Amino acid sequence: MSRVVVTGRVPEAALEKLRTEHEVDAWEAPESIGREELLRRVEGADAVVSLLTERIDAELLDAAGPQLKVVANVAVGYDNIDVPACTERGVLATNTPGVLTEATADIAFGLILSTTRRLAEGERLIRSGQAWKWGMFFLLGSSLQGKTLGVVGMGGIGRATARRAKAFGMEIVYQSRSEIDPATAANLGARRVDLAELLAISDVVSLHCPYGQATHHLIGAGQLAAMKDSAYLINTARGPIIDEAALASALREGQIAGAGLDVFEKEPDVHPGLLELENVVLVPHLGSATVETRTAMAMLAADNVLALLSGEQPATPIN
């Protein structure tokens, strides 16, 4: 039997599936595993099932040893994994795309509604016990019908968010490394533009691009200044795509109307300037947080491990 190390809590169904064929060493405490403990546990592992909270780098790969065959990340993003270091050591890395697409798009559109209609502000007002009274100008927001959604990164989650926006009567523009297929573009009425044009014409900008060196602080002071002062910025991708200090300043100065964030630059910490503002909705990385989706993610990671250890090709390899 091969030894599989699971670096954090995952649904029991995935652990049971792995245990049918292999020895499983799973970290099951509610808090994240410490680095030293993680390095100790991976020693001699044939497979590692990792969460995005754990850094999989050369140090960890070397601590595991040359018998390590696969690192299965329970996430679609893999900026926590040093993929070249895995490749150099002959370790296959996998992720879990597809299964979290709809859940994350739901959160993206939930943030769009929460910011444009000021739902979180209203909820906070009532819970605070402040006196309020209906009025014609009370907590006025912005409608979506006829407005433009700019999607940065038109992968599966970006397209799913665009489908929701179309149902709300929005026009779609997108920026992506490549064009989407013509049938999908026609169905969405989506037009490809460069980032500068997207920022200038969009009423809502939603980020769905992968995070890496090329997208670090993709949205900074210059990009925020290029947006409409009535526009909203949504991020369900990765926190460091946005310069949070620049965003806090732009929101405070009224350069843009609002923002909705599910991810943060130095997660779980949030820039203190954002915490002081009413025109930003902040949620704690809930993009894939449904029972069904998290279970599907863990099961796909388990399937990838089982496939590789049995000599087969995993469904979703990265390298």
Sign of the C-alpha dihedral, residues 317, 75, 16, 64? Answer: positive
Structure tokens at 18: 């792995």
Q: Active site includes 19?
A: no
Residues in CB range of 94: below 8 A, 6 or more apart: 70, 71, 72, 73, 301, 304, 308, 314, 315, 316, 317, 318
DSSP string of 76-101? S--TTB-HHHHHHTT-EEE---STTH
Q: Is 22 considered catalytic here?
A: no
Q: Which of 21, 121, 197, 267 is catalytic?
A: 267
Residue of 118, 208, 285, 294 marked catalytic: 285
Q: Which two tokens stand for residue 131?
A: 């006196």
Tell me the C-alpha distance between 275 and 272, whole Å: 5
- Among positive and negative, which fits the CA dihedral 291, 294, 297, 300? negative
Set 238, 244, 265, 271: catalytic member: 238
CA distances from 168 to 73, 145, 172, 279 (A): 34, 6, 11, 22
Using an 8 Å Cβ cutoff, are 12 and 59 in contact?
Answer: no
* Cα first-last separation, the chain: 25
Chain-centre distance of CA 114, in angstroms? 18
Q: 73, 94 in Cβ contact below 8 A?
A: yes
Catalytic: 285? yes
| Residues near 178 by beta carbon (within 8 Å), at least 6 away in sequence | none
- Which residue numbers are catalytic? 238, 267, 285
